[in-house]
Structure 1
Amino acid sequence: MELAGQCLCGKVSITIPKISEEITVCHCHMCQKFFGGPFMALEGVLPENFTLNGEEQIQRFMSSEWAERGSCKACGSSLFYHGLADNEYYFPVGLFAEIDHAKLTEEIFYDQKPAFFHYKEPTEKLTEAAFLQKLFADSE
């Protein structure tokens, strides 16, 4: 499926020629602060597999030793999570209007999920420790 999306003001746009419709939700406290709630993300995409226009409008922030986050300087839209270990970019589903048949498949940092909401879909649920173990095992 090809996706085209943009930030709220349209100064940054993203085109992904081919991507899975599987969605991961991150419940970590950093994502909750950065995205204003859980981060509903598309599958990770390597830089050579997407086009990012408006790079000069992107503000990058090193949020941890293993990741940076990007937002639009003009409108403040949250644009991506960039994993440094795998060099993949994870984009919020809200940037893309064409996502119709996506499937929620995984929830990470599940032990940091607020108690007041739940998803009905059956998902793989990884705690912070389990996710970090998987992340660093995959990057070796």
Structure 2
Amino acid sequence: MKVKGSCLCGAVKINIPQIAEEITVCHCHMCQKFFGGPFLSLAGVLPKDFSLRGEEQIQRFMSSEWAERGSCKTCGSSLFYHSLADDEYYFPAGLFDEIDQAKLVGEIFYDQKPAFFHYQEATEKLTEEAFLQKLFNDSE
């Protein structure tokens, strides 16, 4: 699937020529604060596989030892989660119009999910411990 997206004000534009039609949800407390709820993310993309316009409008924030998050300096839109362990970028599904056929495939930090919402799709569900173990074992 090819997708094009932007922040709310249009200062930052993202073009991904090819990406899996899959959505992952992160329930961690940091994502809940940064994205205002669960982070519905497109599959991870390496920097060589997407383009950004308006890079000067992006504010980067080191949210942990292993990741940074980006937002638009003008409108405040949350733009990405950047995993430093594998150099992949994860973009919020809401930035793109073309993803209505994507499938929800997994939920991470499931042990931090608020009790007041649920997804009906059957997904892989990883706790914080299981996800971090998988992340750091796979990146070695």
Shift of 1:71: 0.0
Q: Secondary structure at the match of 1:71?
A: strand
Q: How do residues 39-118 of structure 1 correspond to structure 2 at under 5 angstroms?
A: 39-118=39-118
Q: Secondary structure at the match of 1:63?
A: strand
For 2:43 and 2:103, how far apart are their aligned partners in 1?
11
Q: Secondary structure at the match of 1:122?
A: coil
For 1:6 and 1:36, how far apart are their aligned partners in 2?
18
Shift of 1:36: 0.1
Letter in 2 for 1:73: K
Structure 1 consecutive aligned stretches of length 4 or more whose deviation exceeds 4 Å: none
Residue of structure 2 in register with 1:126 after alignment: 126
Q: How many residues align?
A: 140
Residue of structure 1 in register with 2:10 after alignment: 10
For 1:108 and 1:134, how far apart are their aligned partners in 2?
11
Q: TM-score, normalised by structure 2?
A: 1.00
Letter in 2 for 1:76: G
Which structure 2 segments of 5+ residues have no match?
none
Q: TM-score, normalised by structure 1?
A: 1.00
Shift of 1:100: 1.5
For 2:67 and 2:46, how far apart are their aligned partners in 1?
14
Letter in 1 for 2:11: K
Letter in 2 for 1:137: N
Letter in 2 for 1:101: Q
Let me know the Cα RMSD of the aligned residues.
0.3
Shift of 1:72: 0.1
For 2:111 and 2:67, how far apart are their aligned partners in 1?
20
For 1:12 and 1:19, how far apart are their aligned partners in 2?
19
For 1:22 and 1:2, how far apart are their aligned partners in 2?
13
Asked whether 1:33 is paired with 2:43, we answer no
For 1:44 and 1:124, how far apart are their aligned partners in 2?
16
For 2:98 and 2:133, how far apart are their aligned partners in 1?
33
